[in-house]
Structure 1
């Protein structure tokens, strides 16, 4: 037998803990799936003979303008991600490769921003959006998040691993500064972009507080705020419809993660982040 008894005991405890944590994570999801695909009478009781139904999804889709909510959420996450990728790429490249006065101080300020909770800036962000006349718009939800300290840090760590010899080779071929960034650094950091894109999309797709504060009409609300429509009815809480709406909201993120989970894990390993 390989390994001593204490080592095997530690491994057993670690595996048991991992299985318990995984079970705690998956049980709510299984409950949501069960409730969404069964009539309301079976929402809180388990019965193998319970009939399957899609009526809960039909009711959830008809109870609110889900197509508009989906469009608003899509516009929100894509506009934020596009702005972040451009700004974070340029900032990370400057911090990784350029020497300029105050670089370390500026990067320290970026790291300090990581310690500030976004909710602490809600009041000032609202005042700024109100001054610009952008309240109740997708732009108001997106602009405060266009720059990301985490994205700058993650890409800087990746760009610093690129050999400088590649810069010299690109300059010999006639590439300028932006050409080197686009043709050398961006392709090499593609897995990191995929991972960061998933993190950004997941966060802003699920963000609730800021969209709730800055939107007033149905035409601008994203899915998370629109989902509040299902929180209660005159007859009480309909868990079957609520869970069906929740699954429709979470499905795009689950699909995206399943498609890109390998790139997601590999990119953080390459960046040295646990």
Structure 2
């Protein structure tokens, strides 16, 4: 009896299943790793019988219901390994083709169609959902996004990193990437204040589930410089109540000190 993927075809078939689940439900807002024994319980809670299970028979590996995605822990190592392998191949080909295009432009020679950058984005998404601190994948996404001029590309990146934070709320690489995205938006678009408000609400939501999350609250402190004085005062009022309900979480008190200092500086100036 097989104990998991035993051939290269099986491995990449599993990766294709994973990426198919992600593509088929673009509204997934939470991801987690679950033990295989929990799949039956989840199916029963969702009202599925033995004759009918979600995800077209792949429920022993992936569970997707109500925009919540569960990944079986017994496939994580192999799935992550294959996702990284496919991603690095796509990135290598993308970069080599880019260099060829540069040389062709110098020589005024037409260039063959570029490997879709969507391949790099798709495979890097898979890698980061499994290994959130894989810096090469984040850098590849920055490389491609830096050439974009549509707000939707950056808001979609915020959505993806928010999904990653649902399972890795203390991932410094993910929080750092969000700050890079916000900087890009601030340089080219006028919807920054709305995004900053949602960003602050995200940190508060994550703070409810991930106690003493210094990285999340540090990110919220970083947002101060992008806020109006009215937003700062509103944040002080909201965080006062939150701090009263979470007296053991010192991160919020540090956040309030930063807010108060910033508001005083602005008023004095």
- Shorter-normalised TM range: under 0.3
Question: Larger radius of gyration, structure 1 or 2?
Answer: 1
> Quick check: which one's strand share is greater?
2
Indicate the structure with greater helix content. Answer: 1
